[in-house]
Structure 1
Amino acid sequence: METVTSNSKVLYTAKTHTTGGREKGLSRSSDGNLDVRLSVPGTGGPGTNPEQLFAAGWSACFEGAMGIAAGKLGIALPEDTAIDAEVDLRSDKSGCFLQARLNISLPGLARPSALAVVEAARGICPYSKAVNGNIPVEYNVI
């Protein structure tokens, strides 16, 4: 684990308790705001799966990062900004791995401005920084 600099501060710590894994799991947050059933992707089970949770968290975080980036660039984000996140669980002979796409809609924003916001947000979003160089990712401005 990489050493955290002594001058950084913890802004928030998410705490969850999970039992049963992805097959028939339950995951609850310490504050009670998250209480979900887990199921294996594609099985029709009654719950969500880790890939969906990751996609939801990342896309929400990335949209927030785009807001910060847009502010720094003097660009107003459209009210109907949206992100469709796709997280693939894949496997090959080495095992399982993820790949992802963020399909970003910035209606009415000129393409050069949209691309500048997305590029700047990649360096702001903690999820994007965490996956950078670790999984294949596409950022598509649609």
Structure 2
Amino acid sequence: MSEIIFTSQATAKNGRDGHVKSDDELIDLNLVNPAANKDAKGSNPEQLFAAGYAACYDGALNLVASQQKKKIESETNAEVSFMKDSADGGNKIAVTLNIKMEGVSLEEAEELAESAHQVCPYSKATRGNIDVTLNPKVV
């Protein structure tokens, strides 16, 4: 097993229509299933996953750029879609990463986006399990 750098914890109660709280209480949210209740206020697992993936991927992108001696400004937006899975009749998720970069050409942005996807821990964890679309843009 690899060396553990740190561990984060959160507890969910009552699933998609419940509550989630991190052990340090920085995250303390009511959960709402937007497919079942569009008017209720609260977060959902896909929104939380999107926040984590966007942050992790953007960090990997900046790491890869610095390793290649490229100075960029970046912003990553993760769209996490909750979908029907035709393979088993259940549900699945898919992700689109919308990546804005300043300081590089479109070709360099595409190369950096793919390199970041190879090293991002979220990308590694989901590789082969969910569809991830990279959508790099230069601004």
Counting strand residues as a fraction of each chain, which structure ranks higher? Answer: 2
Which residue of 131, 134, 137 maps to 1:139?
Answer: 134
Cα shift at 1:14: 1.1
Give the Cα–Cα distance (whole angstroms) in 2 for the partners of residues 108 and 74 of structure 1. 11
Give the Cα–Cα distance (whole angstroms) in 2 for the partners of residues 60 and 47 of structure 1. 20
Contact 2:12 2:20 in 1 (8 A): yes
Which residue of 10, 30, 49 maps to 1:16?
Answer: 10
1:82 aligns to what?
A: 75
Cα shift at 1:115: 1.5
- Where does structure 2 lack aligned partners over 5 or more consecutive residues? none
Give the Cα–Cα distance (whole angstroms) in 2 for the partners of residues 120 and 110 of structure 1. 15
Cα shift at 1:118: 1.0
Matches within 5 A, 1:8-87: 8-23=2-17, 25-42=18-35, 43=37, 44-78=39-73, 81-87=74-80
Which stretch of the first structure deviates more once superposed, 115-124 or 55-64?
Answer: 115-124
Cα shift at 1:92: 3.7
Identity %: 36
The ranges of structure 1 where at least 4 consecutive aligned residues each deviate by more than 4 angstroms after the TM superposition are none
TM score, norm. by length of structure 1: 0.88
Contact 2:77 2:97 in 1 (8 A): yes
1:123 aligns to what?
A: 118
TM score, norm. by length of structure 2: 0.89
Give the Cα–Cα distance (whole angstroms) in 2 for the partners of residues 74 and 136 of structure 1. 30
RMSD value over aligned CA atoms?
1.3
- Where does structure 1 lack aligned partners over 5 or more consecutive residues? none
Which stretch of the first structure deviates more once superposed, 54-63 or 36-45?
Answer: 36-45
Contact 1:88 1:99 in 2 (8 A): yes
Cα shift at 1:51: 0.3
Give the Cα–Cα distance (whole angstroms) in 2 for the partners of residues 132 and 92 of structure 1. 17
Contact 1:59 1:84 in 2 (8 A): yes
SS in 1 for 2:119: coil
Contact 1:15 1:29 in 2 (8 A): yes
Contact 1:75 1:113 in 2 (8 A): no
